[in-house]
């Protein structure tokens, strides 16, 4: 089922996600619906906050992107990122392993807005899978960027929070417009 993606101004986007302690049918269904929703919206990632559910659950799939490379390393061995897509991650923890780089970023909750965002170029991720497996891997390129963007969402952080005051200022008119449209009815 395709879920509604909430946009900037919706309070769920600022909520820190609860950890997922146990995977039940509802979590499995939510993850499947989030994958379907991400694909329908042609995104490379989606966090539970973006469908109005503040949980530590996100999905990522960079396999359809050809012009922005990604790399993935599991147990010290290089793995084709496409082989592990889509990723469904629960309670992910991320630590940077390389210096920062700047790249363009968008967000399904900010339709029409793109911005240059500076983030570590590579990260180490620890997360749980739906099957309860503990996953540890290293990622770089677009995949590292997408993972950090989603991990931020799970903690109520948005990509515009990484902008310089100056860049934020120039986006303010668009953000104001979005924010008014994104508020839930009655709020
Ligand atoms: Zn986003």
Rounded Cα distance between 143 and 25, Å, is 28
pLDDT digits (tens, 9 = 90+) for 21-39: 999 999 999 999 999 999 9
Judge whether 169 counts as a catalytic residue: no
Average pLDDT over residues 55-68: 95
**Does the pLDDT value for residue 184 go beyond 80?**
no
pLDDT digits (tens, 9 = 90+) for 129-178: 999 999 999 999 999 999 999 999 999 999 999 998 999 999 999 999 99
Tokens of 136: 């540890």
Residue 45 and residue 139 in contact, taking contact as beta carbons nearer than 8 Å = no
| Per-residue pLDDT at 111 | 95
| Ligand 1 mean position, distance from CA 45 (Å) | 7
Catalytic residue among 42, 101, 138, 150: 150
């Amino acid at each position: 089922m395709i879920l509604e993606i909430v946009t900037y101004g919706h309070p769920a986007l600022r909520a820190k996600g609860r950890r997922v302690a146990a995977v039940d049918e509802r979590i499995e269904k939510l993850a499947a619906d989030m994958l379907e929703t991400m694909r329908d919206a042609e995104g490379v990632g989606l966090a539970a906050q973006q469908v109005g559910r503040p949980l530590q659950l996100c999905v990522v799939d960079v396999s359809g992107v050809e012009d922005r490379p990604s790399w993935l390393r599991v147990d010290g061995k290089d793995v084709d990122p496409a082989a592990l897509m889509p990723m469904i991650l629960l309670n992910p923890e991320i630590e940077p392993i390389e210096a920062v780089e700047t790249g363009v970023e968008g967000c399904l909750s900010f339709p029409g807005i793109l911005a240059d965002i500076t983030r570590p170029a590579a990260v180490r991720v620890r997360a749980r899978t739906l099957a309860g497996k503990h996953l540890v891997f290293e990622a770089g390129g677009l995949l590292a960027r997408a993972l950090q963007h989603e991990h931020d969402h799970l903690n109520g952080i948005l990509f515009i929070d990484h902008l310089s005051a100056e860049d934020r200022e120039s986006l303010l008119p668009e953000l104001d417009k979005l924010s008014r449209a994104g508020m839930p009815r009655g709020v």
